[in-house]
Amino acid sequence: MKFQGFCRKIYLCAMTEKDFIPKSYPAQVEQGEVTWQSPSNIALVKYWGKLENQIPANPSISFTLDSCRTTTTLKFKKKQQRADNFHFDLSFEGEKKESFRPKIQKFLERIDPYLPFLRDYDLSIETSNSFPHSSGIASSASGMSALALCLMSLEKQLNPEMNEEYFTRKSSFLARLGSGSACRSIEGDLVVWGMHNNIYRSSDLYGVPFRDEVHDNFKNYRDTILLVDKGEKQVSSTVGHDLMNDHPYAEQRFRQAHDNLDKLKKIFRSGDLDEFIKVVESEALTLHAMMMTSQPYFILMKPNTLAIINKVFKFREETGLHLCFTLDAGANVHLLFPEKEEEKTLQFIENELKQYCQNGQYITDRVGSGAKKLA
């Protein structure tokens, strides 16, 4: 017991759900506004499959991105009387966005026990993305993490004693309740989410920065996102995660994710780019293999996704460079490569891969350092 008390005080141990339920707020806040900019992230070991309350079925690790961001401003004003319902206005890129309301309503309901002040305020949420509208890039990670951070800034005003570590962990914890992978968007540059025996302080409840040694080869890693298909996905991530419940290969897949994290841990230390490629590409293909072997089965890759993958294999064989691909739950392709190979790789993308993108569109991004509060 003594040891537990010690752990809680300086947050050496993993925090529990109870740690995120505030007891009381010492300060009063009438009104104000706050703005956060939060990035997207790209998973190297993928999260696919979840238990109740957004608990991941396996641990995952991602690179935090830099320029693919959501900017969210939260304005808040105390109501004369606390109401039973949440009250919020919502706009996206300057226009009211009714279609986002159910998702935000559900998010507020989920986080209500952890932010008991929510019903005391009229909230106005204004949000915009740095990446092109309807690009097929999921904005749930950057969007939910930006909103979670704004709400935490209000909580910090109500409880000015709150320390930075608690602020960051709870932001990630809340973001997870909005969209699982959003909990990996608060910090940079590599974030782990999900319990793993060999990753220090890893938790199913929130993301933590990967604190082991990382070779210079992986510093400033590049991610160019090829926009292959900008339409709405036919199958949502929520449905995909649920299909892992009765999936014939689920158990092996979850074990494989643990093993791949162990492998990546070694690779990050050694800087072995060939081994990195093997793990990352296998993870991407396994994710899509899970989709193709669930019941009902579905395919999110498009012919151009495969054309790009084959071109990447050929480019690697011909040049010996370390370009590799990964995929989200969609047809777009993320191309990962080291900073020092940027020039030749970008030339190849422009000359040979652009033609497979819708309207020739792609986004050049890189690994970033996490969310930022704007003045």
Binding site for ligand PMV (CB under 6 A): 43, 46-48, 60, 138, 140, 179-181, 237, 241, 287, 328-329
Going by C-alpha positions, the residue among 127, 131, 139, 134 that lies closest to residue 40 is 139
CB of 291 to ligand PMV, least distance (A): 9
Nearer to ligand PMV, 169 or 334 (CB): 334
CB of 241 to ligand PMV, least distance (A): 6
CB of 280 to ligand PMV, least distance (A): 12
Nearer to ligand PMV, 194 or 348 (CB): 194
CA distance 207 to 330: 23
CB of 140 to ligand PMV, least distance (A): 5
Nearer to ligand PMV, 108 or 257 (CB): 257
Nearer to ligand PMV, 154 or 226 (CB): 226
CA distance 216 to 272: 11
Nearer to ligand PMV, 121 or 193 (CB): 193
Nearer to ligand PMV, 300 or 349 (CB): 300
CA distance 202 to 209: 9
The one-letter code for the residue type at 310 is N
CB of 9 to ligand PMV, least distance (A): 32
Residue 285 phi/psi, 5° resolution? -70, -35
Q: Which residues, other chains included, contact 272 with Cβ-Cβ below 8 Å and sequence gap of 6+? A: 266
Question: What does the buried/exposed string (b/e) look like for 183-219 if buried means 16 or more CB atoms within 10 Å of the residue's CB?
Answer: bbbbbbbbbbbbbbeebeebbbbbbbbbeeebeebbe
Going by C-alpha positions, the residue among 180, 198, 179, 174 that lies closest to residue 19 is 174
* Distance set, CA 234 to CA 47, 238, 268, 294 (Å): 19, 12, 35, 15
Nearer to ligand PMV, 46 or 156 (CB): 46
Question: What does the buried/exposed string (b/e) look like for 126-148 if buried means 16 or more CB atoms within 10 Å of the residue's CB?
Answer: bbbbbbeeebbbbbbbbbbbbbb
Going by C-alpha positions, the residue among 140, 190, 177, 154 that lies closest to residue 17 is 177
